Amino acid sequence: MTIKGVLPWILFLAVSVLLAVQLSAAARPNILFITFDTTRSDGLSPYGNKESWTPHTQKLADEGVLFENVYAQAPQTLPNHVSIFTGLYTITHNVLSNGQKLDEAALTLAEILKEYNYNTGAIVSAAPLMKVFNLDQGFDHYDDDFAALDLLHGFKSFLRFFSANKINMQSDRKGHETARLAVRWIERASKRKKPFFLWVHFFDPHKPYDYRPDFGRPEIIENLVDLTGHERARVAYANEVQFADHNMGKVLAALETLGIAERTLTVFTADHGESLGEHGYLGHRQHVYENIIRVPFIIRWPQHLPFARRIAAPTMSIDIVPTLLSLLEIPYLPGSFQGRDMLAVQPQQPRRLYSLAVKLFTKTPIRRMMIYGDYKFIEFDQPERNALYDIHLDPLEQVNLLDDLPPEALQVQWQEGVQQWWDQHSSLLLSDFKMTREQLERLKSLGYVQ
């Protein structure tokens, strides 16, 4: 690691700490950060779904900015949440699969906001996000009480989550309970003088897809009996997405009731999507097709962001942190993140987007993806399966163009591009960015640290 690569990370926190003292906490908004698990963008009303109405995500889009083409860095819960909150590719933060642990050297959004006097809280709803996996860095309050918190029981809960074996332990919670806890936390936090940052994670759209009689749609439960296979999964999945949207609405309503909606920056996204029979696959962890890695992203901040704006520029989950920091006018140096400010991305400027599927603890192979312009390359473990799609003309990824490349696609070395990305970013280690005593003294001598 060169000095050039290390220095931005060394200076980032130091500069932030110094400027945090100078900025007024009262001028900063509250931040409500909501993630849905396993939610493909086309499963939501504002992304064009005409059959499954999701009024609360629609309201967010009507009152904020919606990004049409956002790609997850991984099709699993923990890896992409880590990318969301660190602004780093999975191959850099090295949490490649559920069940791994984030290194203490990582710099999270919660840690940054904490330096700016934010009251930080999180309410998560599934075993892969338990604090034993270390994504709780920077949070004053991290609620994962649906399961035991020690490492041994956390691992048992993790096994139960991915196993047919029944272990007598709760490993997730339903949206109505998550919403209840979130509303209670916001009510308490709103009474404090400093702003809050609350992350709320809804797990409901993840398998198994359960109908909820208390959701008020018993007629669909009756109709479900007549459905089979992938058709049944699609209908049940849509109901789960609606259920999560319904409960998110309770949290958004609390902002209105408490009179703090106008001074709250609300962020909505998902960790990954879901294949509902496309390409003969039901699930998400093994592939990087569009329905699995294209995710929603909506941001609302009254009086600061326009209403009902849609941005088509291609972006990634790692862009979220720099986007928020730019909005909050929290400075960061170039190279602090591998993402970029989404509001500053120009659609006409070509950009390469990447995603990686790695399922550890099994023999599932690695699948890597690169998008450039209208084209998307997927590298499989078996070279003969490699594929290139025109995702503009062929969004369902049905026609492999590798054997007959269009002239514009010939300009890109697809296999070499994926390998170059891997070589460049997988060699970076979080431990390289730790601040040594000597480096700290040097920053003090320059006036960055008091």
More confident residue, 293 or 172: 293
Q: How far apart are CA 447 and CA 443, in angstroms?
A: 6
Full strand arrangement of the beta sheet holding 367-372: 352-357, 367-372, 375-379, 387-390
Percentage with pLDDT > 90 across the chain: 50
For residue 336, is pLDDT > 90?
Answer: no
Length of the chain: 450
Would the CA dihedral through 176, 182, 187, 190 be positive or negative?
negative
More confident residue, 225 or 325: 325
Residue 437: its pLDDT value, please? 45
Average pLDDT, stretch 422-440?
Answer: 60
Q: How confident is the model at residue 281 (pLDDT cuts 50, 70, 90)?
A: confident
- φ/ψ of 193, rounded to 5, equals -80, -25
**Structural tokens at position 378:** 């997927």
For residue 27, is pLDDT > 70?
Answer: yes
Q: How far apart are CA 97 and CA 281, in angstroms?
A: 19
Residue 130: its pLDDT value, please? 87
With beta carbons less than 8 A apart as the criterion, state whether 345 and 313 touch: yes
Residue 315: closest CA among 346, 285, 290:
346
* Residue type, position 245, single letter: D
**Going by C-beta distance under 8 Å and a sequence separation of 6 or more, which residues neighbour residue 450?**
18, 444
Q: How confident is the model at residue 408 (pLDDT cuts 50, 70, 90)?
A: confident
More confident residue, 128 or 435: 128
pLDDT in tens, 175-203: 889 999 999 999 999 999 899 999 999 99
Q: How confident is the model at residue 100 (pLDDT cuts 50, 70, 90)?
A: confident
**Which superfamily, per CATH, for 24-349?**
Alkaline Phosphatase, subunit A (3.40.720.10)
Q: How far apart are CA 34 and CA 199, in angstroms?
A: 6
With beta carbons less than 8 A apart as the criterion, state whether 276 and 282 touch: yes
Residue 227: its pLDDT value, please? 60
Q: How far apart are CA 53 and CA 231, in angstroms?
A: 18
With beta carbons less than 8 A apart as the criterion, state whether 17 and 449 touch: yes
Would the CA dihedral through 70, 74, 76, 79 be positive or negative?
negative
- The SS3 of residue 302 is coil
Residue 424: its pLDDT value, please? 86
For residue 148, is pLDDT > 80?
Answer: no
Q: How far apart are CA 165 and CA 380, in angstroms?
A: 31
More confident residue, 410 or 301: 301
Average pLDDT, stretch 272-284?
Answer: 84
Residue 359: its pLDDT value, please? 67
Q: How confident is the model at residue 56 (pLDDT cuts 50, 70, 90)?
A: very high
**Structural tokens at position 229:** 């296979």
Q: Which residues of 319-338 are buried (b: 16+ CB within 10 A; e: fewer)?
A: bbbbbbbbbbebebeeebbb
CA atoms within 13 A on the CB side of 432: 17
Q: Which of 19-28, 134-143, 150-159, 218-227 has the lowest mean pLDDT?
A: 150-159
Residue 293: its pLDDT value, please? 95
Q: How confident is the model at residue 218 (pLDDT cuts 50, 70, 90)?
A: low
Residue 166: its pLDDT value, please? 40
Average pLDDT, stretch 9-28?
Answer: 52
pLDDT in tens, 107-133: 899 998 998 899 999 999 988 898 888
With beta carbons less than 8 A apart as the criterion, state whether 272 and 295 touch: yes
With beta carbons less than 8 A apart as the criterion, state whether 175 and 191 touch: no
The H or E element that residue 363 is part of is none
**Structural tokens at position 346:** 């120009």
**Going by C-beta distance under 8 Å and a sequence separation of 6 or more, which residues neighbour residue 350?**
372, 373
| Range ranked top by mean pLDDT from 20-24, 285-289, 399-403 | 399-403
For residue 223, is pLDDT > 70?
Answer: no
Mean model confidence pLDDT for the chain: 82
Residue 380: closest CA among 348, 418, 423:
418
With beta carbons less than 8 A apart as the criterion, state whether 360 and 99 touch: yes
Residue 21: its pLDDT value, please? 42
Q: How many CB atoms lie within 10 A of CB 443?
A: 18
Average pLDDT, stretch 256-284?
Answer: 91
With beta carbons less than 8 A apart as the criterion, state whether 79 and 66 touch: no
CA distances from 401 to 135, 149, 305 (A): 40, 49, 40
Average pLDDT, stretch 51-61?
Answer: 93
Task: Name beta bridge partners: 311.
Answer: 67
Helices 437-445 and 3-22: crossing angle in degrees, nearest 10, is 60
pLDDT in tens, 30-40: 999 999 999 99
Strands (E), 92-228: 119-123, 141-143, 196-202
Residue 444: its pLDDT value, please? 45
Q: Which of 99-103, 290-294, 385-389 has the lowest mean pLDDT?
A: 99-103
- Taking every pair of C-alpha atoms in the chain, what is the biggest distance, in angstroms? 73
